[in-house]
Structure 1
Amino acid sequence: MDRGTVIGLTATMGLLAWIMLAGSSEAMSVFWRLPSLALVIGGAILVTMAAVPLVRFRAFGSMLRKAFREQGPNPAECIAVLIALAELARREGLLSLERSVAGLKDGFLRRAMQMAIDGQDANMIESVLQTELESTDLRHVGGRDILRSMGNSAPVFGMIGTLIGLVIMLGRMDDPSTIGPGMAVALLTTLYGLLFANVVCLPLARKLGHRSSDELLCKTIMLKGVLAIQRGDHPRMVEQKLRAYLPDGGEDYEFIRTAPEPSVPSAGQDESVVAEEPRNTDKTSATRKPSWMEAA
């Protein structure tokens, strides 16, 4: 569970509830109107469903869960694993990676390495995986667009609800005592629309955008690293190329390039591919065993 998403949403809701309770002793009854809430949320969802392909809308749930999950692979971990693979390929040859690659949980890296081990042309590998990256990006954009569409529609339905409430209120002008409560109910729908858009939909859309950028960066690093390993580049060269993707050239990270006995398993071992523990503990560790790389 991503604590940032949960804490941010919960704290915002708590702040709003505190302000409402401080302003009125009957806040729960004053600010609660189920028909208004149903109009805003239901209307935003239904209009968005009409605007996007149904197949994409059905897949929205799995995309939304990414906003609440702990962040998966980070670029430093990707580079650490690729350096370890480059070390093993340099010592024992590219074919020696086959058993180690089979233990990788990340499907993109596993497929990329398997294509390299199978002797596929580098241009073919890059073309296939680049197409997969573009497809992933389109899928992520689709998920964000759904949230943005809901965020744009919610205030509109809030205004529609307010207008409906005003029409009903004006139709009862013969009883002046109903004007105040009627106006409050009418404005409440606008409040719901603004809250649903700016507290839920738009922040989650931005969070998914960050998740997408991180995932695409890691996969790009994997692609470039696999191509370098296939070419037989020296592990130091692999590291230098991939460090360029990290902030400030990865100066805050220590990657183990050479070691007496790297913890990357050889072809006869069962352990998953991991990088060795860093020697310099003062720098950010990027070589611990990433859980996302372990075999399922």
Structure 2
Amino acid sequence: MDLLTIGGLVVAFCAVFLANWLGGGEIVLLLNLPSAIIVIVGSVGAALVQSSAEDAIKALKMLRWAFFPPQFHLVFARETISRLSAKARRLSVLSLESDIKALNNRFATRALQMAVDGTEPDVFADRLHEEAMRVHERKSNYIGFLESVGSYAPTLGIMGSVLGLIQAMANLDSPEALGHGIAVAFVSTFYGQGFANLIMFPLCRKLTGYVDAELLLNQLYIDGIHGIAIGKHPQRLELELDGYE
């Protein structure tokens, strides 16, 4: 579990509620279920209109990466390529067939299988690089769905405030009720801004970093196994892969 994500969210919300309390505001006024519904549910609904059901479901599943992040170990990948390169140099590329199943990356597995099968190195490298980019674009689209949820939230917050003001105007004959109604109405704007800028956008930035790291790892494996297939010296290959970090 990524404690930094949880800690960051806690710190952000504590700062807001603490500032409200120090300013003499009542915490209870910030808790409003109708405002939460119109902002959160309304934003998700608006984002669904512009997306497909599959993208929406996979995007929501990707949110768990923010709390349970995947591990992309570039150092371990470089060490693995170095070991395979030395073995291929000492024996042959065909000797790496026993190492295919041990690779814990589908692009590395496919690249090494193609290399062992005698596929032209440039052919499988180009093909796998294109596929890695398509995977990256698909996952970026999932993150785009989440970003659209955040982008709609402030507008839905304003709409919630307008609805609240309409209800508040119905109590013009009661100044006390009118003041309370106006205060509650603006909670929707607060929810919209908070949901977008304290939750959705930061989480999307974190997910984007993981998706970029995944692409980098896949490219490292593809380029590394391509280097093995064309017979690059292990030390030269190691120097070239040092740029992946």
TM exceeds 0.5? Answer: yes
State the alpha-carbon separation in 2 of the partners of residues 176 and 3 from structure 1: 46
Q: What letter is aligned with 2:67?
A: F
Q: List runs of 5+ in structure 1 lacking aligned partners.
A: 247-296
Contact 2:227 2:237 in 1 (8 A): yes
Residue 67 of structure 1 aligns with which residue? Answer: 66
Contact 1:98 1:114 in 2 (8 A): yes
Shift of 1:232: 1.2
Q: What letter is aligned with 2:234?
A: P
Aligned ranges 1:122-271 → 2 under 5 Å: 122-246=121-245
Contact 2:59 2:146 in 1 (8 A): no
Contact 2:20 2:26 in 1 (8 A): no
Residue 32 of structure 1 aligns with which residue? Answer: 31
Q: What letter is aligned with 2:80?
A: V
- TM-score scaled by length of structure 2: 0.94
Shift of 1:155: 0.4
State the alpha-carbon separation in 2 of the partners of residues 70 and 64 from structure 1: 9
Residue 5 of structure 1 aligns with which residue? Answer: 5
Shift of 1:26: 4.3
Residue 52 of structure 1 aligns with which residue? Answer: 51
Shift of 1:14: 2.6
Shift of 1:44: 0.5
Q: List runs of 5+ in structure 2 lacking aligned partners.
A: none
State the alpha-carbon separation in 2 of the partners of residues 175 and 61 from structure 1: 44
- TM-score scaled by length of structure 1: 0.78
**Percentage of matched positions with identical amino acids:** 31
Shift of 1:75: 2.4
Contact 2:9 2:199 in 1 (8 A): yes
| Structure whose residues are more often helix by fraction | 2
Q: Deviations over 1:12-33 (max 9, x none)?
A: 2232233334445841x22111
Shift of 1:184: 0.4
Residue 292 of structure 1 aligns with which residue? Answer: none
State the alpha-carbon separation in 1 of the partners of residues 211 and 25 from structure 2: 44
Q: What letter is aligned with 2:233?
A: H
Q: What letter is aligned with 1:170?
A: M
Contact 1:169 1:182 in 2 (8 A): yes
